[in-house]
Structure 1
Amino acid sequence: MHRVAGYMAAGWIALAGAVAAQDNPVVVELFTSQGCSSCPPADDILAELSDREDVIPLALHVDYWDYIGWKDEFAQHAFTGRQKAYARTGGWKMIYTPQMVVNGVDDVVGSRPMKLNKLIRKHAAMPSHVALTLTRDGEYIAIRAEAQGGLRPCDIHVVRYTPQEQVQIVRGENAGRTLTYSNIARSWDVVARWDGRSLYEGKVKVGAGAPVVVLVQDPEDGHIVAAARLR
Structure 2
Amino acid sequence: MVRVGISASVTVCLALAVGGFSLPGDGFAQSTPAGPSAQAPETHTATPDSPPEMKRRASQAIVGTMAGNSAPTHSPVVVELFTSQGCSSCPPADALFQTFADRDDVIALALHVDYWDYLGWKDPFGKAEFTARQKAYARAARERTVYTPQMIVGGTTALIGVQKDELNAAIAKQSGEAEPVDLKISGSDGKYQVVLSADPPLSAPAVVQIVRYMPEARIAILRGENAGQTIDYRNIVTEWHAIAEWDGKSKTQIKVDLDGDDPGVVIVQAAQPGQGVPLPGKILAAGRLD
Task: Name the amino acid aligned to 1:224.
Answer: I
1:1-231 equivalences in 2 (<5 Å):
13-15=17-19, 22-151=73-202, 152-207=204-259, 209-220=261-272, 222-231=281-290
Distance 1:147 1:222 in 2: 17
Q: Is the 8 A contact 2:215 2:262 kept in 1?
A: no
Distance 1:138 1:230 in 2: 9
Percent identical among aligned pairs is 46
Distance 1:80 1:67 in 2: 14
Q: Is the 8 A contact 2:75 2:183 kept in 1?
A: no
Higher strand share: 1
Q: Is the 8 A contact 2:86 2:225 kept in 1?
A: yes
Task: Name the amino acid aligned to 2:255.
Answer: K
**TM-score, normalisation: structure 2:** 0.71
Q: Is the 8 A contact 1:35 1:72 kept in 2?
A: yes
Task: Name the amino acid aligned to 1:228.
Answer: G
Structure of higher CA gyration radius: 2
The list of structure 1 runs, each at least 4 consecutive aligned residues, that deviate by more than 4 angstroms after superposition, is none
Deviation at 1:22, TM superposition (A): 3.0
Q: Relative to structure 1, is the Cα distance of residues 218 and 56 closer, same or farther in structure 2, using a 3 angstrom cutoff?
A: same
Deviation at 1:110, TM superposition (A): 3.9
Aligned residue in 1 for 2:277:
none
Deviation at 1:45, TM superposition (A): 1.2
SS state at 2:99 partner: helix
SS state at 2:135 partner: helix
Aligned residue in 2 for 1:6:
none
Relative to structure 2, which stretch is displaced further, 199-208 or 102-111? Answer: 199-208
Distance 1:62 1:39 in 2: 11
Greater relative CO, 1 or 2 (CA 8 Å, sep 6+): 2
Unaligned runs of at least 5 residues, structure 2: 1-15, 21-71, 273-279
**TM-score, normalisation: structure 1:** 0.88
